[in-house]
Amino acid sequence: MSILPPTLPLAFSPEVADARADGRPLVALETTIVTHGMPSPQNVETAQAVEADIRAAGAVPATIAVMDGTLHIGLTEDELHRLAEARDVAKLSRADLAACLARRGTGSTTVAATMIAARAAGIAVFATGGIGGVHRGWETTLDISADLQELAQTPVTVVAAGAKAILDLPATFEVLETLGVPVIAYGQDEMPAFWSRASGLPAPLRMDSAAEIAAAHAMRTALGLPGGQLVANPIDPADEIPRDEMLPVIESALAEASAQGISAKAVTPFLLDRIFHLTDGRSLTANIALVRSNARLAAAIAAELGTGGR
């Protein structure tokens, strides 16, 4: 008995369908940040603000999620609200995306799953807050986000404020180097650390313009290289929480996570929530600002790629 592969149940929002028909630049957006990364109502407000930023920069947003077994590329306002309000939404990564679609489930997409969906929809640029990476304590837990492997194999340029600073950042960048993923700091020589501009770690590559990043993306395509690029865009100085202030906050959130035995997919949402409380909400304000800044840069890169990346 053979089973014919089904056609991928893809649904483009009217706005994304129009953009595709007209050949306008598209920027993919993830939804784990909506369902697991930010509290309500800032989650939906941020998703809408980010979409507006992308439109204002001359590109078209494509927010990605699985709803009732369909992979949505672009969500209507109503769909975004439904996803944000749904209970027990799965957090989908590479391992769970196909199973969720097959079971006609609903789930938000992480960086890894959003990259897979973006590629399936022919979208080359994606904006998020911070990628997942190597968790502290990896020596015993082996907790390494599938986002890193995805960057090594799926040809999408991901604009983030680096990796989330709750992670083991040196180990995360080591893995990216091993996997051959270009890690490009935008406009500075040092890697940013999500809420902070400084990480104390040198950037493997530095680029100062969207045009240069788009050209590098196009050159990878020309070389036939399979993976993507990570663009690490430092949070604006006016919005950052300096590293010296963040380090003790991160330490106490990590201590709480370990005391409560938090593990696997629950770690990142738990830590983000604890840090939100420990900083009296300032971490969320910074997170919103950095996602919006990443969206604007991603739109500029997508616009450059639309003209051939040169």
Q: Does 129 bind ligand PSU (CB under 6 A)?
A: yes
Number of residues near ligand PSU (by CB under 6 A): 17
Pick out the residues of the known binding site: 91, 111, 143, 145-147
Q: Does 154 bind ligand PSU (CB under 6 A)?
A: no
Closest CA to 105 of 131, 136, 69, 138: 69
User: Active site includes 265?
Assistant: no
Q: What is the 3-state secondary structure (H, E, C) of 125-171?
A: EEECCCECCEECCHHHHCCECHHHHHHHHCCCEEEECCECCCECHHH
| Residue 107 phi, psi dihedral angles, 5° rounding | -160, 155
CA dihedral defined by 139, 141, 144, 145, rounded to 10 degrees? -160
The identity of residue 233, as a single letter, is N
Residue 75, burial from CB neighbour count under 10 angstroms (0-12, 13-18, 19+): buried
Q: Name the minimum Å distance from CB 171 to ligand PSU.
A: 13
- 78: Cβ–Cβ under 8 A, 6 or more apart, which residues? none
Q: Which stretch binds ligand PSU (CB under 6 A): 17-25, 126-134, 215-223, 236-244?
A: 126-134
Nearer Cβ to ligand PSU, position 147 or 168? 147
Distance (Å, whole) CA 235 – CA 85: 29
Q: Name the minimum Å distance from CB 213 to ligand PSU.
A: 19
- Distance from CA of residue 218 to its chain's centroid? 20
Q: Which of 51, 164, 265, 304 is catalytic?
A: 164
Q: Which of 30, 51, 240, 304 is catalytic?
A: 30
CA dihedral defined by 210, 216, 219, 220, rounded to 10 degrees? -120
38 secondary structure, DSSP code? S
User: Active site includes 164?
Assistant: yes
Instruction: Tell how many helices (H) and how many strands (E) occur in the chain.
Output: 13, 11
Nearer Cβ to ligand PSU, position 136 or 265? 265
Q: Does 265 bind ligand PSU (CB under 6 A)?
A: yes
For ligand PSU, the binding residue among 28, 66, 71, 111 (CB under 6 A) is: 111
Give residue number: closest CB to ligand PSU: 129
Tell me the C-alpha to C-alpha distance, in Å, between residue 208 and each of 71, 72, 212, 231, 232: 34, 33, 7, 11, 11
Q: Does 33 bind ligand PSU (CB under 6 A)?
A: yes
Q: Does 130 bind ligand PSU (CB under 6 A)?
A: yes
For ligand PSU, the binding residue among 16, 20, 37, 241 (CB under 6 A) is: 37
Q: Is the separation of the CB atoms in 269 and 253 below 8 Å?
A: no
Binding map of ligand PSU across residues 161-190, x = CB under 6 A, - = no contact: ------------------------------
Nearer Cβ to ligand PSU, position 13 or 195? 195
Q: Which stretch binds ligand PSU (CB under 6 A): 99-107, 125-133, 168-176, 199-207?
A: 125-133
Residues in contact with ligand PSU by CB under 6 A are 30, 32-33, 36-37, 110-111, 128-130, 132, 145, 147, 265, 268, 287, 291
Residues annotated catalytic, as ranges? 30, 164
